[in-house]
Chain A
Amino acid sequence: MLRACYDLLKPGGRIVLTSIFVAPDATEAQYRRAIAARGRGSGSRREITGLLTAAGFEGVHARDVSRAFARSSRAFYETASRYAEELRESWGTETFEDRLGSGRATLELIEEGVLKRGLFWARKPGRVSSSKGARPRDAAPRGSRGGRR
């Protein structure tokens, strides 16, 4: 996926991404709980910066944004609990219970230091060129007629 992003960028283009991952020092049991709560992740912060470098990017940076992740997760869980009746009706009971359960598990794992979230950014080597004057269809998907409206 990161290699595909590299190819899609112009020289000097930038990639910025966030990713949730399991802390490298998590125990096997914690890792299994994290996978159960969030699905399979992409590995540690070091692995993601390594993947960016391996894809050809330079100027790779990472910042831990786990504290904000904890605040957002807590706000999600508490507010969803407060609006339980409406959300059950809107999402259906099964989906509501799944999402709330996942939210609770996610919050617990963040507070235990098992789940982390990082902000990553990097640049494709080469000189930045302006997009001005480029034809609009340059960014159109292959085989498309240029989006919909």
Chain B
Amino acid sequence: MVKRHSVEEARTIERFKDRYARAGTRAERAVEKAAIGANVGSNGYTTIEQADKIGRLAGLRRGMRLLDIGCGRGYPGLYLARKTGCSVVESDLPLASVRLAVRRAERQRTAGRARFVLSSAVYPPFRPGSFDAIVHTDVMC
């Protein structure tokens, strides 16, 4: 089945297409580390301290299932999976970003607890009651 994107979804894909196509240079890692405090696949404003707080507020622990909506390159979902032992579904619209998240999961050895889905935040393709916790960082802005 061919899924058509809404106008808003198509704009999001276009907006972030170039950003993820050439991600991961030395300069980008320097910018990320300065902005949030580590190199964890972030291109936003959620600091490591805030990610830790998000994990605590979500009550994450081993055996739980987390959905990270608008995951970009995999942050904070993969970081939280590594820290807490939970499993995670990483979801976003741009294919390039999800590919980077897959690579990050393989590098940090969380791939066994991570799944990746190309999906919008408005029409997530999951069964009701599938998750113990949901996080999204600045997806609504």
Contacts and interface: CB of A to CB of B under 8 A. Distances in A.
Interface residues of A, number: 60
Interface residues of B, number: 58
Interface of A: 1, 4-5, 7-11, 13-21, 38-39, 41-42, 48, 65, 68-69, 72-73, 75-76, 78-80, 82-83, 86-87, 90-92, 95, 99, 117, 119, 121, 128, 130-132, 134, 138-144, 146-149
11 contacts: A7-B129, A11-B129, A16-B133, A68-B49, A75-B35, A83-B30, A119-B53, A138-B65, A139-B67, A139-B130, A143-B125
A6 B39 CA distance: 31
Contact of B63 (A11, A18, A130): A130
B89 interface: yes
Contacts of A68: 45, 47, 49-50
A81 to B, nearest CB: 10
Nearest to A87: B27
Given A121-B57, A139-B89, A141-B126, 6 more contacts: A8-B128, A18-B50, A20-B138, A75-B34, A139-B115, A140-B126
A140 B104 CA distance: 20
Nearest to A39: B141
A80 B116 CA distance: 30
Given A79-B30, A90-B22, A4 B141 contact: no
B7 interface: no
B13 interface: no
Given A8-B126, A87-B28, A139-B89, A78 B59 contact: no
A84 B119 CA distance: 33
Q: Sort A-B residue pairs by CB-CB distance and give the 8 closest, nearest first.
A: A147-B115, A83-B27, A86-B27, A20-B141, A79-B34, A75-B34, A42-B140, A141-B125
A19 B25 contact: no
A4 B121 contact: yes
Contacts, number: 175
B111 interface: yes
Interface string B14-27: 00001100100111
B45 A139 contact: no
Contacts of A18: 45-46, 50, 54, 136-138
B18 A91 contact: yes
A36 B48 CA distance: 28
A19 B133 CA distance: 17
Contacts of B111: 149
